[in-house]
Structure formats: structure tokens, C-alpha cells
């Protein structure tokens, strides 16, 4: 079975084709036949964030080109999956309309795919680096989905059965990375830029020297919600209170980048670990662009060891943490397996689509 995945929820135009094999003895296997992504990062970098209608224009221009490149060696496919939400509505409609026209033309079934679920199921892409085999049953699982637009803790009882435990009340983790990076004069997207500078910090005594101690928003509250707007504001005020010579220095920028990353990671890890204990989860799934952060992954491993938790830790290969068509095609397969069917005429974009 060959499945086409289309993703245009934000600023990446993505098309991929996967091949699914089902064997009684070996079970399922997924082969990536193509994976093409056209990024708009350079275009939006000058603004420090994504402009929806500019992104829509680029999707309209790039999607036919990306589709042609992804399918030039593939004669036919059996199923189409397209992300219909959540995301930026003008961008979502580009992918949805393209997929609907294609489904009509080729007389193929079309599945509407939830962007958040696709990020979670990216953990099933069989291109893992040296990761240990999962121990026993992996469900229920706690899923932490963190990106520029989303910070959510989700209970996954099984594939297709989800319950949102908590989400961001204002800025998402990735959005906080972007905004604080902009304050410090670093590049876009902010997550990789902050991580790069944080890695360069050699002397942690600089945190004390510059009196840098950022808040860990909502870390002690009993709920599983997040709030990173206050963290961004704390960075802005601290930065403004420094003489120009200090706030423009490499030492200050690296120390602040380090503390920003520590604050965000600490909140994400602590709340996820608490949810894992409370719901007696057997696995933790990471998904979304921020899941590519090396510090976040290391801190999860340390926390699991420290708490002596007998849980699996899953995270996608870094290149599959950000938006891609492979995760969409994979999600389409699991949806198809669950018997999800929808006439292509009824597929519509929904910017505020919820999981569960």
C-alpha cells in the first residue's frame, strides 16, 4: 500500500510517499519512498515569525513543484492524507484544496489528518538511530507535543484514543524560544538559535555575574497547563535593564540563552514526569519541533533515571520532529486501519482542530 502525505499547516510545504507492508510473521513495516520539504524559514526570518498570507502565497507556488518532485518516480498510490488542522487557516486550505482536487482526479480516498496526532505518530517512523527496543506494552502513554504553536500534554490510551491533559494558556514553548531569540538579536527559528548559543556557555558563573535567574512558570501548579508569556517578559525586562555594552556581549547572550533553555526544559520535563506518574503511563512520547532539542531529550533521560521510572522514552529522529509529509502519510495509514473514511468533498480546513 502506497500513501501520499501532504502538509501545509504553517511555513513548510511538505509531500511524502510511504510504502506499508503488512506481514503476518514480521508485522508492519514502513518504507519512505520520498520526502520533499520546501522551507520558508529564510523568507520569514526577516520578520521573526510566520506571516500567514505570505506563507499561503508560497505554498500556492511551491506545492505543485514539491508534489511533482516527490512523486516523479512513483507511478501510483492508494491513499491520500492531508493535514486539515490545527494550523494557520490560509495555509491549511492550500493543502486541503490541492488534495481534494487530486483525490477527485485520481478517484482515491482522502483522509483529513490532525497535525498534532501526526507529530505523535512520527515516533513510529522506522528510521531510528540507536534506540533500545520498547519494553512490553507501550500504552497508556503521555505525549508531550511542543512546537511554535503548540504545547500540549496528551494521554494516549492507544493509537487514535487521546485526551488533552493540559495545554498552553498563552505563548507555546517554541513561540517563547522565537520571541526571546528576537530580543537577544539571534536568528529564526528561535529554538535552534537559543540552543546553539546555550551550548557555547563555558562558565555557568556568568549567570551569577549577570544576575540571571528566570522564572519557571506554573511549574509547581497541580494542573498540566503551560504558560511561557511571563518568561518572555522576564527576559525582555532583564535585557532592557542592561547597559548596551553588556546586553550586546557574547557572554551575556550565551548566559541568557542558556537560562532560557533551562527554564523551558525544566517546566516541560517536570510536568510531563508528573503526568506520567499520575496516569501510570508506560511510555513518554515527544513530538513537534522543540522535541528535536538535545537538552530536552537529555533531561528526560536523567529525570526518568532519577525517578526510577520503568517507562519507554520515544522521540522521532530530529529531521522528523519538524513538519514533514512522512508523519502525515503514516498517520493516514493508522486512520485508515481504524476505519476512518471521509468523502473528499467533506474535507475542510479547521485552524482550531482539537485532538481526541
- CB-based burial label for 274 (10 Å; 0-12, 13-18, 19+): middle
CA angle centred on 167, ends 176 and 59, rounded to 5°: 65
Q: Which three cell numbers stand for residue 3?
A: 500513501
* Side-chain-facing half-sphere of 322: CA atoms under 13 Å: 19
167 neighbors 344 (Cβ within 8 angstroms): no
Is the distance from CB of 2 to CB of 78 less than 8 angstroms?
yes
In order along its 356 residues, the chain shows pLDDT tens digits of 999 999 999 999 999 999 998 876 566 889 999 999 999 999 888 887 898 999 999 999 999 999 999 999 998 999 999 999 999 999 999 999 999 999 999 999 999 999 999 999 999 997 443 345 667 789 999 999 999 889 999 999 999 999 999 999 999 999 999 999 999 999 899 999 999 999 999 999 999 999 999 999 999 999 999 999 999 999 999 999 999 999 999 999 999 999 999 999 999 999 999 999 999 999 999 999 999 999 999 999 999 999 999 999 999 999 999 999 999 999 999 999 998 776 788 899 999 999 98
DSSP track, 260-282: HHHHHHHHHHHHHHHHHHHTT-S
| Cα distance between residue 267 and residue 265, in whole Å | 5
- The alpha carbon dihedral of 23, 156, 85, 153 has a sign of negative
**pLDDT value of position 45:** 86
Residues 6+ apart with CB under 8 A from 7: 13, 14, 15, 82, 83, 95, 115, 118, 323, 324, 325, 327, 328
- How far is the C-alpha of 184 from the C-alpha of 196, rounded, in Å? 13
- The CATH architecture of the domain made up of 2-127+320-346 is 2-Layer Sandwich (3.30)
Q: Does domain 141-316 bear CATH number 3.40.640.10? A: no
Which residue from 308, 313, 294 is spatially nearest to 132, judged by alpha carbons?
Answer: 313
Domains of the chain: which residue ranges?
2-127+320-346, 141-316
pLDDT at position 130: 38
Comparing C-alpha atoms, which of 325, 273, 319 is closest to residue 299?
273
- Number of Cβ within 10 Å of residue 23's Cβ equals 8
Beta bridge partners of 39: 12
8 A C-beta contact, residue 196 and residue 253: no
End-to-end CA distance of the chain: 27
Q: What are phi and psi of 308, to 5 degrees?
A: 55, 45
Cβ within 8 Å of residue 161, ≥6 positions away: none
The predicted model scores a pTM of: 0.95
All three cell numbers of 75, joined, read 507511478
**Separation of alpha carbons 155 and 277, rounded Å:** 12
Main-chain phi, psi angles of 15, to 5 degrees = -140, 135
Closest to 142 (Cα-Cα) out of 300, 290, 294, 281: 281
Q: Outline where the chain has alpha helix (H).
A: 41-45, 52-71, 89-106, 115-121, 173-183, 190-199, 205-209, 229-240, 244-247, 250-278, 294-306, 325-337
Amino acid at each position: 500500500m502506497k500513501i501520499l502525505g501532504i502538509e501545509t499547516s504553517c511555513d513548510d510545504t511538505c509531500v511524502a510517499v510511504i510504502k506499508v507492508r503488512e506481514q503476518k510473521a514480521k508485522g508492519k513495516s514502513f518504507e519512505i519512498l520520498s520526502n520533499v520539504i520546501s522551507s520558508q524559514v529564510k523568507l520569514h526570518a526577516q520578520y521573526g515569525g510566520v506571516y500567514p498570507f505570505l506563507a499561503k502565497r508560497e505554498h500556492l507556488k511551491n506545492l505543485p513543484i514539491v508534489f511533482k518532485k516527490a512523486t516523479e518516480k512513483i507511478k501510483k498510490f492508494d491513499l491520500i492524507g492531508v493535514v486539515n488542522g490545527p494550523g494557520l487557516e490560509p495555509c491549511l486550505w492550500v493543502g486541503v484544496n490541492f488534495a481534494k482536487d487530486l483525490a477527485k482526479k485520481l478517484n482515491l480516498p482522502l483522509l483529513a489528518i490532525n497535525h498534532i496526532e501526526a507529530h505523535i505518530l512520527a515516533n513510529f517512523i522506522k528510521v531510528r538511530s540507536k534506540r533500545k527496543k520498547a519494553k512490553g506494552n507501550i500504552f497508556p502513554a503521555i505525549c508531550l507535543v511542543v512546537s511554535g504553536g503548540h504545547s500540549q500534554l496528551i494521554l494516549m490510551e492507544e493509537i487514535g484514543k487521546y485526551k488533552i491533559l493540559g495545554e498552553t494558556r498563552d505563548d507555546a514553548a517554541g513561540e517563547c524560544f522565537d520571541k526571546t531569540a528576537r530580543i537577544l538579536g539571534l536568528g529564526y527559528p528561535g529554538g535552534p538559535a537559543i540552543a546553539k548559543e546555550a551550548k557555547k556557555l563555558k562558565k555557568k558563573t556568568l549567570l551569577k555575574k549577570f544576575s540571571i535567574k528566570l522564572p519557571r512558570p506554573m511549574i509547581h501548579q497541580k494542573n498540566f497547563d503551560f504558560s511561557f508569556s511571563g518568561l518572555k517578559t522576564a527576559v525582555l525586562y532583564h535585557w532592557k535593564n542592561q547597559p548596551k555594552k553588556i546586553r550586546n556581549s557574547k557572554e551575556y547572550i550565551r548566559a541568557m540563552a542558556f537560562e532560557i533553555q533551562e527554564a523551558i526544559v525544566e517546566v516541560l520535563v517536570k510536568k510531563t514526569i508528573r503526568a506520567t506518574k499520575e496516569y501510570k503511563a508506560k511510555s513518554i512520547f515527544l513530538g513537534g519541533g522543540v522535541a528535536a532539542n538535545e537538552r530536552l531529550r537529555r533531561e528526560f533521560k536523567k529525570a526518568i533515571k532519577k525517578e526510577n521510572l520503568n517507562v519507554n522514552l520515544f522521540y522521532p529522529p530530529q529531521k522528523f520532529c519538524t513538519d514533514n509529509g512522512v508523519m502525515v502519510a503514516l498517520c493516514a495509514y493508522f486512520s485508515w486501519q481504524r476505519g476512518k473514511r471521509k468523502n473528499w468533498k467533506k474535507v475542510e480546513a479547521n485552524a482550531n482542530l482539537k485532538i481526541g
